[in-house]
Amino acid sequence: MESVLIANRGEIAVRIIRAAAERGLRTIAVYSELDRDAVHVELADEAWNIGPAPAADSYLNITRIIEVAQESGADAIHPGYGFLAENADFAQAVLDAGVTWIGPPPAAIATMGDKIASRRAAIEAGVEGVPGSIDPVTAAAEVRRIGDDIGYPIAIKAAHGGGGKGLKIVHDPDEIEDAFESARRESDAWFASPDVYVERYLEKTRHIEAQVLFDNDGNGVFLGERDCSAQRRHQKLIEETPAVGVTDAQRSILGEKALAIASAAGYQNAGTVEFLLSENGEFYFLEMNTRLQVEHTITEVVTGIDIVHAQFVVAEGGPLPVTETPPTRGHAIEMRINAEDPARGFAPTPGD
């Protein structure tokens, strides 16, 4: 590998460009017309315009990005996070073009990106998920039956979504009809699929995620956990590692569960398996993010392992940086800075 195209923008594009440059790779940036003067464009060895400002016409334009990869002679593509990072069709298009994909196999992305399919994968791996349905629910009556069986409150969730979109919490059976229809509408609008499923809504839990890394031969390593419990509107605000109050025994169990799930999906490269930690100390599988996480840097700080460098090595068929969970040094915290308007109930404010 001598060159890499970074199919992203902003902070993560800068992060990947720096890592690639340290490896002596030629870096190729892409940008929309609005990002012509962006930092990632300046830092890369070369930069290509991929379209107008709307993401659908630029950073989500698979055809154009593949064209640029071929025209620029890119040996590999790193998707970063967001945009096309968890798009199985994009990953397959990259491979079909004869370009190295720095990420998990398309099949693993498709399986773990589907909340219902990932729940099935977890069950097959012997890992317990939050009680609920393992198939899409198609009627409010079905939601009521499941709710009566597993107990309330319940969560109606988009099968292909995340970030709180298409999520409705139901505390009383009388709320089911409206919540079900609303969740399906939101899911269809945001993720082009009305499919939803139901699970028990666990109110007093912590959100703990496990960082994993797999080579191309199926060997995996657990790189530690991150506590992402501090959230608002189902969006993470603060992440920290190691997670306070998680015992060594619990940490070991968490790692075993995360590796089992990822292995069952035929995973390769870096990924994060998310769990809910209940009051009684049990970990319940929530979902898997088949990409580099925003908060990957805090794991790097305490373990000394550069996850982005490791992604490059693994993508080239190289070995894992470690074969056992590394010891941690100190404590690291990441805090999100959000642009919000306090005069409008702290509503998101992207600018004028």
The chain-wide mean pLDDT, for the chain, equals: 96
Could you tell me which of 43, 11, 15, 33 has the C-alpha nearest to residue 102? 15
Task: Tell me the pLDDT tens digit for each residue of 42-56.
Answer: 999 999 999 999 999
Fold exhibited by the domain 131-200: Dna Ligase; domain 1 (3.30.1490)
**Six-digit token pair at 273?**
């398996």
For residue 241, the cross-strand partners are 332
- Contact between 105 and 113 (Cβ < 8 Å): no
For the cut 80, the answer to whether the pLDDT of residue 163 exceeds it is no
Q: Exposure pattern of 205-241 as b/e (b: 16+ CB <10 Å)? A: bbbbbbbbbbbeeeebbbbbbbbbbeeeeeebeebbb
Q: Given this model, what pLDDT does residue 192 score? A: 85
Q: Quickly state the pLDDT bin for 205 (edges 50, 70, 90).
A: very high
Q: Where does the pLDDT of residue 8 fall: very low under 50, low under 70, confident under 90, or very high at 90 and above?
A: very high
Provide the pLDDT confidence category of residue 89 given band limits of 50, 70 and 90.
Answer: very high
Give the pLDDT score at 282.
94
Specify the pLDDT at position 352: 67
CATH 3.30.1490.20 range(s) for the chain read: 131-200
Of the candidates 101, 107, 69, 103, which has an alpha carbon nearest to the alpha carbon of residue 88? Answer: 107
How much is the average pLDDT of 111-125?
A: 93
SS3 sequence of 116-158: HHHHHHHHHCCCCECCECCCCECCHHHHHHHHHHHCCCEEEEE
Query: Within 13 Å and on the Cβ side, how many CA atoms surround 156?
Result: 33
* Sign of the dihedral defined by the CA atoms of residues 336, 337, 342, 347, in that order: negative
Specify the 3-state DSSP secondary structure of 346. coil
pLDDT at 309: 98
At 351, is the pLDDT very low, low, confident or very high (cuts 50, 70, 90)?
Answer: confident
| Least confidently predicted of 59-63, 162-166, 248-252, 337-341 | 162-166
Q: What is the DSSP letter of 344?
A: G
Element (H, E) at 255: helix 248-264
Span 55-81, average pLDDT: 98
Question: What CATH architecture is 206-340?
Answer: 2-Layer Sandwich (3.30)
- Express each pLDDT in 21-30 by its tens digit: 999 999 999 9
Give ranges for CATH 3.40.50.20 in the chain.
3-87
Structurally, at CATH architecture level, domain 3-87 sits in: 3-Layer(aba) Sandwich (3.40)
Which residues, at least 6 apart from 299, have a Cβ–Cβ distance to it below 8 Å? 211, 223, 224, 226, 241, 305, 307, 332
- Considering the chain, tell me which residue range(s) the CATH 3.30.470.20 domain(s) occupy: 206-340
- Report residue 138's pLDDT band, with 50, 70 and 90 as the boundaries: very high
The confidence band for 235, taking pLDDT boundaries of 50, 70 and 90, is: confident
pLDDT band, residue 214 (cuts 50/70/90): very high
What residues contact 96, with CB distance under 8 A and at least 6 apart?
none
